[in-house]
Amino acid sequence: MTSTVIAPSLYDRDFSLWVEDVAARLKARDFELLDIENLIEEIESLGRTERHELKNRLDVLLSHILKRVYVPIQNDRNGWERTIREQRKQIKRRLADSPSLKNYLPEIFDEILEDVIAELREDYPQVQFPDTWQFSRDVDAILSEAFWENI
């Protein structure tokens, strides 16, 4: 009985070298020797990574907006506002690079908000957080308005 030993592919042995090799082949228009399966997997992964990053940033943003609005701790407000500004800046940068992601924010908003409210209720049991978002859901408003000034 003979067994065939399959050598690991470049993708499995050295990812960085694989990326360089794929880039060189694409530049040279050498499509016949491209590692198509792994290339497809990596491109799909890029899209998932962008959406995951946006979810994480929205989670932090909503959490800090709600803390800033509802938690009556004066000395934490400046830190929450700095975090709000940073998350907004990073989300705006992502949307500038990938404008189609702006349509993704409303899709994930309720899921993220539900998780955020649950966590905040655990962290601040003495605070009455609303069950729903009390402010504009417009993406531009979420990325710019000081909702705490209207209360």
Q: Are 17 and 68 in contact (CB under 8 A)?
A: no
Rounded mean pLDDT, 108-121: 97
> Cα–Cα distance between 75 and 84 in angstroms, integer?
16
Where residue 29 falls (left for φ over 0; alpha for ψ -120 to 50; beta otherwise) is left
pLDDT tens column, 49-107? 999 999 999 999 999 999 999 999 888 899 999 999 999 999 999 999 999 999 999 99
Q: What is the pLDDT of residue 16?
A: 92
Rounded mean pLDDT, 8-22: 88
Sign of CA dihedral 150, 93, 123, 113: positive
Please report, rounded to a whole number, the percentage of residues in the chain having pLDDT higher than 70.
Answer: 95
Report pTM.
0.80
> Cα–Cα distance between 144 and 147 in angstroms, integer?
9
Q: How many CA atoms lie within 13 A of 132 on its CB side?
A: 4
Rounded mean pLDDT, 40-45: 89
- Residue 84's nearest CA partner among 148, 37, 23, 39 is 148
Rounded mean pLDDT, 37-46: 89
Residue 1 reports pLDDT greater than 60: no
CB-based contacts of 106, cutoff 8 Å, min separation 6? 137, 139
- Under the banding of pLDDT at 50, 70 and 90, the label for residue 5 is low
Mean pLDDT of the chain: 92
